[in-house]
């Protein structure tokens, strides 16, 4: 390896910026750029489940693709087990890929209908080469059993399986190289509620057995809360809040995180219509204004607490200094809790 | 007096292997000004129910029974149905991009049903359509009526679809998964908007969804469907107080929740060991796999021999709350 190893890092994402060039509106003007990732940094430790939440278009899938080395960042770097991914040569990258695998969102789109399950699951092994067919078959059978399917299913084709089973096949495929990191991009959002739980349980069982890390991307806050130990909330290409899952969900600081948490419908009929009236008209005009690459906080357009400062200088991620009594007992936990906001909740609480 | 009453609605389709019941003996009523939530997983027939009411069933599906809406909708000729559709019954579809015509401006699409049903001139219709678009939160100073759907975001498109459904001031609105394609924050706005409009005009609402949270927060009454049948029904708060059918319970318990798991009647702990989600074993049966017994038989923890041979009738638990199960969960069990 030509890169120098960075101190015991498993996955480090440092200041990643990924821009897409939009189609130009007029011939002689310069094309606009859309910044899908705007200086994202985060660290995932080995064996950790790290969640990323945010609305559609906030850049969470771009982040997943960048971690998978499917996108090259314009600046910044993704460092996996001491290797900076986008500096690797094609052949080196191919080798390295056995260490990180991906589960895609839609099990109907991610499995080739013309390949048998055996072919699908063994494809990562084939690309790594150097395995006899019989050995490969053994591993396929093993992987299928791991995800609760039968080794006989290897001869079948994807259309013979239900959505939940297909997602199991996709998990088997990602598992077969024994990766240290699995990037799961909305792994259950295409599944029915009762099947969702089966797949999530399977993912947790596998984690307990093999100790891989998950980068778990979802828009469903309750699932992320259940599955992960750390979480980052993204908004418009930036991380606005990050911390241990429990702490962040219980003591959300950023106004966006709070809005997100409050808008999740809960199975509690008594909660209904309490907040309704205020909500429906307010906010919605600015909520849909196009997000521009402005200098201030990206959330300023929708934020109820916005000040002049927010519009002019983007806040950076800061540790939260809990000065209240509640803070002291949580201190050890909230150490990692960071928020990018000038007016985090604990300072505004006294109304 | 019921605005809509559905009696013994059965929808079947002929397959080479025989006749398959997509909907089996559905009966329910809905009063004006009330909202009804229909919950169930994909393939349980909830959308087919909506399509039967709208008279939009695919050609190979045959409906029998009665749908009373000031007259039996099932026996009406297509010409008469056209006068009701979009006029007295409005529908909000799931995918706003496919529900809207991509090559027509939004103002035109909203005005279309006014011109058709209310015989308004183009100018009058445009004017009124513009007012409705104002009402759903797309004011004309920011959103020109000549915008095309692709120039709007998902939430804005859904607002247009709602405007189309509302523009003739229907007595009944059917919303089929209106927010499934949207983000939670937008979902909240859209649901608030629907509820507000329905209240304002005293319309009845059928809200079809797979999300128990959405039903809890937005409806007065609810139905739970499984494999084409109603398995549990009642006033929303009563059903949530005491989930009686094992399927409803299982569905509920498999949601990773939430603020306080204990609030869900200790369900999580009842069903699942250490930090695992409780699951319903197996999967939803395909329609051709159904036998004459309870459709949930193969996945149910309480199933007994009786369940496989007989379909349970609905048992009344408390006023208005009933479940189709031989062994329903009792209060606080």
What is the predicted ipTM? 0.76
pLDDT at A287 over 50: no
Across the range B159-181, mean pLDDT stands at 91
The tens digit of pLDDT for each residue in A11-67 reads: 999 999 998 887 777 788 887 778 889 899 999 999 999 999 988 878 888 999 999
Rounded Cα–Cα distance for residues A74 and A63 (Å): 13
A335: pLDDT confidence band, cut at 50, 70 and 90?
A: low
Q: What is the pLDDT of residue B262?
A: 39
Q: Do the chains contact at A280 and B137, CB–CB below 8 Å?
A: yes
Query: Which pLDDT band holds residue A234 (cuts at 50, 70, 90)?
Result: very high
State both tokens at B55. Answer: 């008279």
Instruction: Please answer yes or no on whether B213 and A266 come within 8 Å at the CB atom.
Output: yes
Is there a contact between B26 and B67 (Cβ–Cβ < 8 Å)? Answer: no
Residue A86: both structure tokens together: 């986008």
The answer to whether residues B121 and B249 belong to one domain is: no
Residues B193 and B258 in one domain: no
Name the residue with higher pLDDT: A329 or B234. B234
* Biggest CA pair distance of chain B: 67
Instruction: For residue B75, give the 3-state DSSP assignment.
Output: helix
- Residue B233 falls inside a structural domain: no
Q: Confidence class of residue B268 from pLDDT cuts 50, 70 and 90? A: very low
Is B200 found in the same domain as B130?
yes
* B254 shares a domain with B147: no
Among A265, A153, A49, smallest CA distance to B39 is for: A265
pLDDT of residue A272: 59
* B267 shares a domain with B126: no
Higher pLDDT, A160 or A281: A160
* B166 and B311 housed in the same domain: no
Helix (H, G, I), strand (E, B) or coil at A126: helix
Whichever domain contains B126, its CATH number is 3.40.50.300
- Is the pLDDT assigned to residue B328 strictly greater than 60? yes
Q: Which of residues 29-48 of B touch A (CB under 8 A)?
A: 41-42
Q: For residue B331, is it within any domain?
A: no
What's the pLDDT score for residue B203? 92
| Domain extent listing, chain A | 11-24+32-228, 238-265+278-348
User: What CA–CA distances, in Å, run from B217 to B79, B116, B175, B186, B258?
Assistant: 37, 35, 15, 15, 15
Residue A276 clears pLDDT 70, i.e. is over it? no
Task: List, in order, residues 6 or more apart from B72 with CB less than 8 Å away.
Answer: B66
- My answer on whether B148 and B77 are in the same domain is yes
Instruction: Give the residue with greater pLDDT, B273 vs A302.
Output: A302
Contacts of A272 in chain B (CB under 8 A): 216-218
CA–CA distance, B232 with B322 (Å, rounded to integer): 6
Q: A interface toward B at CB cutoff 8 Å?
A: 55-56, 162, 164, 192-198, 200-201, 204, 219, 221-223, 225-227, 259-260, 263-273, 276-277, 279-281, 283-285, 287-288
Same structural domain for residues B193 and B281?
no
Nearest-by-Cβ selection for A222 from B186, B195, B257 = B257
Spatial separation of the C-alpha atoms in residues B46 and B257, rounded to whole Å? 24
**Residue B236 is assigned to a structural domain of this protein:** no
Number of C-beta neighbours around residue B65 at 10 A? 17
B184 part of contact set with chain A, CB < 8 Å: yes
Of the listed ranges A187-196, A340-349, B66-75, B78-87, the one predicted with least confidence: A340-349
Buried b (16+ CB within 10 A) or exposed e, A73-97: beebbbbbbebbbbebeeeeeeebb
B141 CB contacts (<8 Å, ≥6 apart)?
none
Q: Mind telling me how many Å the CA of A68 is from chain B's nearest CA? A: 25
Residues 6+ apart with CB under 8 A from A292: none
Which residues constitute the domain of residue B256? 243-324
pLDDT confidence of B260, banded at 50, 70, 90? very low
Q: What is the pLDDT of residue A321?
A: 63
Domain count, chain B: 2
Region of poorest pLDDT, from A105-109, A265-269, B74-78, B153-157: A265-269
Among the partner-chain residues B156, B192, B240, the one whose CB lies closest to the CB of A267 is: B240
Residue A164: its pLDDT value, please? 87
Tokens linked to B189: 């706005």
**Partner-chain contact A266 B277, CB within 8 Å:** no
Partners of B226 on chain A (C-beta within 8 Å) are none
| φ, ψ of residue A62 in degrees (nearest 5) | -60, -40
What is the average pLDDT score of chain A?
A: 82
Indicate whether B210 and B255 sit together in one domain.
no
DSSP labels, B140-190: TTTS-TT--GGGS-HHHHHHHHHHHHHTT--SEEEEESTTTTS-HHHHHHH
On whether any CB of chain A is under 8 Å from the CB of B218, the answer is: yes
Last residue of a domain, which of B219, B252, B268? B219
B309, part of any domain: yes
Candidates B156, B185, B186, B272, partner chain A, best to mutate (most A CBs within 10 A): B185
Nearest-10 crossing angle of helices B106-118, B122-135: 120
- Interface size A-B, in CB pairs within 8 Å, comes to 134
Q: Are residues B120 and B173 in the same domain?
A: yes
Which pTM was predicted? 0.82
One domain, residues B203 and B257: no
Of B189, B217, B264, the CB nearest to A284: B189
B181: in domain: yes
User: Does any CB of chain A come closer than 8 Å to the CB of residue B255?
Assistant: yes
Q: Which residues of A111-138 are buried (b: 16+ CB within 10 A; e: fewer)?
A: beeeeebbebbbebbeeeeeeeeeebbe
Residue B228 inside a domain? The answer is: no
A266/A123: higher pLDDT:
A123
Contact criterion met (CB < 8 Å) for A267 and B257: yes
| Residues from chain A contacting residue B210 (CB–CB below 8 Å) | 192-193
Residue B19 domain-assigned? yes
Quote the DSSP letter at residue A32. Answer: P
Interface test with A, best of B178, B281, B283, B284 (most A CBs within 10 A): B283
Residue percentage of chain B with pLDDT more than 90:
42
The per-residue pLDDT for B284 is 76
B108: which 2 tokens? 């035109």
The answer to whether residue B332 is domain-embedded is no
What CATH number was assigned to the domain covering residues A11-24+32-228? 3.40.50.300
**Chain B residues close to A268, C-beta within 8 Å:** 213, 216-217, 240, 263
CB B117 within 8 A of CB B90: no
Q: What residues of chain A lie within 8 A of the CB of B187, using their CB? A: 263, 265
């Amino acid at each position: 390896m030509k890169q120098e190893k960075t101190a015991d890092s498993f996955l480090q994402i440092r200041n990643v910026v990924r821009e897409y060039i939009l189609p130009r509106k007029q011939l002689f003007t310069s094309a606009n750029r859309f910044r899908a990732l705007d200086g994202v940094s985060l660290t995932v430790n080995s064996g950790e489940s790290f969640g990323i939440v945010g609305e559609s278009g906030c850049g969470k899938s771009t982040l997943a693709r960048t971690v998978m080395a499917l996108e090259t960042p314009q600046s910044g770097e993704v460092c996996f087990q001491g290797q900076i991914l986008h500096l690797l040569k094609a052949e080196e990258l191919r080798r390295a890929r056995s260490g990180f695998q991906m589960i895609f969102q839609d099990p109907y789109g991610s499995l080739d209908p013309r390949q048998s399950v055996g072919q699908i699951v063994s494809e990562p092994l084939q690309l790594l080469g150097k395995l006899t067919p019989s050995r490969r078959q053994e591993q396929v059978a093993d992987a299928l059993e791991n995800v609760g399917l039968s080794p006989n299913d290897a001869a079948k084709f994807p259309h013979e399986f239900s959505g939940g089973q297909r997602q199991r096949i996709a998990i088997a495929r990602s598992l077969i190289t024994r990766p240290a990191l699995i990037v799961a991009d909305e792994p259950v959002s295409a599944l029915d509620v009762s099947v969702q739980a089966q797949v999530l349980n399977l993912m947790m069982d596998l984690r307990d057995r093999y100790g891989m890390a998950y980068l778990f991307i979802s828009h469903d806050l309750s699932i992320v809360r259940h599955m992960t130990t750390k979480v980052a909330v993204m908004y418009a290409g930036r991380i606005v809040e990050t911390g241990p899952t429990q702490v962040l969900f219980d003591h959300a600081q950023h106004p966006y995180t709070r809005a997100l948490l409050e808008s999740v419908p809960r199975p509690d009929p008594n909660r209904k219509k309490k907040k309704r009236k205020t909500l429906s008209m307010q906010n919605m005009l600015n909520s849909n204004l196009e997000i521009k690459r402005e200098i201030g906080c990206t959330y300023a357009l929708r934020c109820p607490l916005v000040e002049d400062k927010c519009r002019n200088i983007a806040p950076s991620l800061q540790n939260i200094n809990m000065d209240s009594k509640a803070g002291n007992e949580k201190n050890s936990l909230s150490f990692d809790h960071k928020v990018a906001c000038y007016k985090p909740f604990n300072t505004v609480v006294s109304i | 007096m019921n605005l809509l009453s559905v009696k013994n609605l059965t929808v079947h389709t002929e397959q080479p292997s025989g006749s398959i019941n997509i909907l089996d003996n559905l009966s329910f009523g809905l009063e004006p000004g009330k909202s009804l939530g229909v919950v169930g997983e994909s393939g349980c027939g909830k959308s087919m129910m909506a399509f039967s009411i709208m008279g939009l069933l695919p050609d190979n599906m045959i409906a029998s029974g009665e749908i009373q809406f000031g007259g039996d909708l099932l026996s009406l000729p297509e010409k008469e149905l056209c006068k009701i559709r979009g006029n007295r019954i409005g529908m909000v579809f799931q995918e706003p991009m496919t529900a809207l015509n991509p090559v027509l401006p939004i103002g035109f699409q909203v005005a279309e049903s006014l011109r058709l049903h209310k015989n308004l001139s183009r100018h009058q219709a445009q004017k009124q359509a513009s007012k409705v678009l104002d009402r759903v939160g797309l004011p004309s100073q920011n959103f020109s009526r000549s915008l095309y759907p692709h120039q709007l975001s998902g939430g804005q498109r859904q607002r247009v679809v709602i405007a189309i459904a509302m523009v003739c001031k229907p007595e009944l609105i059917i919303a089929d998964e209106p927010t499934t394609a949207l983000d939670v924050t937008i979902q909240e706005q859209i649901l608030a908007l629907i509820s507000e409009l329905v209240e304002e005009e005293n319309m009845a609402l059928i809200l079809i969804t797979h999300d128990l949270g959405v039903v809890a927060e937005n409806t007065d009454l609810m139905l739970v469907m499984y494999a084409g049948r109603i398995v549990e029904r009642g006033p929303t708060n009563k059903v949530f107080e005491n989930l009686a059918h094992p399927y409803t319970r299982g569905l509920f318990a498999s949601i990773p929740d939430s603020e306080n798991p204990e609030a869900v009647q200790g369900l999580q702990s009842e069903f699942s060991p250490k930090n695992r989600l409780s699951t319903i074993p197996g999967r939803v049966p395909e329609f051709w796999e159904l036998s004459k017994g309870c459709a949930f038989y193969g996945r149910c923890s309480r199933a007994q021999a009786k369940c496989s041979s007989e379909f349970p009738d609905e048992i009344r638990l408390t006023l208005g709350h009933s479940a189709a199960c031989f062994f329903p969960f009792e209060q606080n069990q």
